[in-house]
């Protein structure tokens, strides 16, 4: 696959704009195509707004001169000039197939075509396209210029070179690449988010809580931890030195309790072993205490950052400080 000097974007909305800013900041030229001429002003504004954040994020790093942004209403022109194409049109399979088909005919076979789709699988996107072996999913997170995760998804038709070339490109623009073992509807992260989202819809529908209360239940608790460690590692840590066995002994039965509208699989020995092995790998030989120390130091640091913006748990910290100052002033 070819070296990426010019990134082609198909669709320049929230996600397309984010890709543009990230790539331009990393010295990649961008040719952005949209059907709506108003999007030229929009994408230029998006990039301008993102630049100070990107500069702050990478302060002290030797960054190249920014790339050059061009806009076109002609997606075939974009496909002919791009070394890598990222598709970001709205989440409709019919629309994606309709826009990808001509692009796949114009772009050379050594040009990767990656879709930002939140949940369609490569096998759904390949239908009727030229050289499907270079068409993959590269699923980012909003805002793309600050969230580093990109899920790379292929299938049996995908050439391994393509996945590796895409991963290399994404790494070159500062991203964390997660290559999925196999395609699955919703990929990994959106399946997890969707699970929670469906539960939230039940809670709102059953008038159990307001959306604000539900968001508080995330922001002040588990959400704080999720920037540091994933759910599997955190859950096993919550069992302390008792570890995986104690965790499943204590909380194993809860999967059959009415805590969720999602049905869970039977907790088999195999599942427990997978948690044991997976979280042991994640711990990378660190003891429970060592992991707790990292987790806690990060929790303190994140709250101090949030306090600067008076957001979430940072506001709680600020309110506590005001209270403590009032008390100590008598
Ligand atoms: N918004 C998110 O948080 C998010 C996160 C990850 C992935 N995604 C995925 O990224 C994709 C884009 O989402 P978005 O939120 O940026 O949508 P958006 O509606 O903000 O932008 C879509 C853009 O595509 C353009 N477009 C429509 N038809 C077109 C065509 N035929 N040719 C060229 N351009 C066309 C629109 O004019 C618009 O500018 C979707 O697949 C979505 O699921 C979104």
User: Per residue of the chain (330 residues), what is the pLDDT tens digit?
Assistant: 889 999 999 999 999 999 999 999 999 999 999 999 999 999 999 999 999 988 988 888 889 999 999 999 999 999 999 999 999 999 999 999 999 999 999 999 999 999 999 999 999 999 999 999 999 999 999 999 998 999 999 999 999 999 999 999 999 999 999 999 999 999 999 999 999 999 999 999 999 999 999 999 999 999 999 998 999 999 999 999 999 999 999 988 888 888 888 887 888 899 899 989 999 999 999 998 899 889 889 888 999 999 999 988 899 899 989 988 998 898
Mutate to test the pocket of ligand 1, among 8, 10, 11 (most ligand atoms within 8 A of CB): 11
Closest to 122 (Cα-Cα) out of 106, 145, 138: 138
> What residue spans define the domains of the chain?
6-179, 220-328
Phi, psi of 87 (to 5 degrees): -90, 130
Is residue 147 lining ligand 1, measured as CB closer than 6 Å? no
Give residue 300 CA to ligand 1 midpoint distance, Å.
36
What is the predicted pLDDT for the residue at 275?
Answer: 87
* Nearest protein Cα to ligand 1, atom 3: 142
Give residue 141 CA to ligand 1 midpoint distance, Å.
13
Is residue 86 lining ligand 1, measured as CB closer than 6 Å? no
* Helix orientation angle between 312-328 and 288-308, rounded to the nearest 10 degrees: 80
Give residue 253 CA to ligand 1 midpoint distance, Å.
42
Closest to 8 (Cα-Cα) out of 25, 24, 27, 30: 30
Is residue 18 lining ligand 1, measured as CB closer than 6 Å? no
What is the predicted pLDDT for the residue at 239?
Answer: 92
Give residue 91 CA to ligand 1 midpoint distance, Å.
7
* Nearest protein Cα to ligand 1, atom 12: 88
Is residue 35 lining ligand 1, measured as CB closer than 6 Å? yes
Is residue 89 lining ligand 1, measured as CB closer than 6 Å? yes
Give residue 243 CA to ligand 1 midpoint distance, Å.
43
Is residue 117 lining ligand 1, measured as CB closer than 6 Å? yes
Phi, psi of 325 (to 5 degrees): -65, -40
Closest to 158 (Cα-Cα) out of 188, 180, 191: 180
Give the separation between CA 264 and CA 259, rounded to whole angstroms.
11
Give residue 11 CA to ligand 1 midpoint distance, Å.
6
Is residue 91 lining ligand 1, measured as CB closer than 6 Å? yes
What is the predicted pLDDT for the residue at 328?
Answer: 86
Is residue 122 lining ligand 1, measured as CB closer than 6 Å? no
| Whether 208 contacts 258, CB under 8 Å | no
Which CATH number fits the domain 6-179, given the four candidates 3.40.30.10, 1.10.10.10, 1.10.1660.10, 3.40.50.720?
3.40.50.720
Helix runs in 107-210, H state only: 122-125, 160-172, 189-205
| Whether 58 contacts 148, CB under 8 Å | no
What is the predicted pLDDT for the residue at 264?
Answer: 77
Please provide the DSSP assignment of 159-187 as one string: -HHHHHHHHHHHHHTT-EEEE-SS--TTT
Is residue 73 lining ligand 1, measured as CB closer than 6 Å? no
Is residue 14 lining ligand 1, measured as CB closer than 6 Å? yes
Give residue 123 CA to ligand 1 midpoint distance, Å.
20
Is residue 116 lining ligand 1, measured as CB closer than 6 Å? yes
């Amino acid at each position: 696959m070819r070296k990426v000097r010019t990134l082609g974007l198909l669709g320049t909305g929230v996600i397309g704009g984010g890709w543009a800013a990230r790539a331009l900041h990393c010295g990649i030229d961008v040719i952005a195509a949209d059907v709506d001429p108003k999007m030229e002003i929009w994408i230029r504004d998006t990039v301008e707004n993102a630049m100070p954040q990107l500069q702050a994020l990478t302060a002290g790093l030797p960054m190249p001169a920014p790339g050059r942004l061009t806009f076109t209403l002609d997606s075939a022109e974009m496909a002919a000039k791009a070394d890598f194409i990222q598709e970001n049109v709205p989440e409709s399979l019919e629309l994606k197939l309709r826009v990808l088909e001509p692009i796949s005919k114009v772009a050379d076979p050594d040009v990767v075509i990656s879709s930002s789709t939140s949940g369609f699988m490569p096998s759904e996107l390949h239908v009727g396209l030229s050289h499907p072996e270079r068409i993959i999913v590269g699923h980012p997170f909003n805002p793309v210029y600050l969230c580093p995760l990109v899920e790379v998804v292929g299938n049996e038709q995908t050439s391994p070179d393509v996945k590796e070339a895409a991963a290399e490109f994404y790494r070159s623009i500062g991203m964390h690449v997660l290559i999925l073992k196999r395609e699955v509807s919703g990929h990994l992260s959106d399946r997890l988010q969707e699970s929670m989202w469906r539960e939230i819809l039940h809670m709102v529908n059953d008038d159990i809580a307001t959306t604000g209360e539900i968001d508080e239940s995330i922001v002040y608790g588990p959400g704080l931890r999720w920037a540091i460690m994933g759910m599997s590692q955190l859950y096993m840590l919550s069992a302390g030195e008792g570890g995986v066995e104690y965790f499943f002994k204590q909380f194993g039965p809860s999967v059959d309790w009415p805590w969720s509208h999602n049905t869970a699989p039977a907790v088999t020995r195999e599942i427990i072993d997978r948690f044991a092995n997976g979280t042991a790998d994640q711990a990378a030989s660190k003891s429970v205490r060592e992991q707790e120390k990292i987790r806690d130091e990060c929790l303190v640091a994140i709250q101090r950052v949030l306090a600067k913006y008076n957001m979430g748990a940072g506001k709680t910290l600020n309110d506590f400080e005001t209270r403590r100052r009032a008390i100590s002033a008598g």
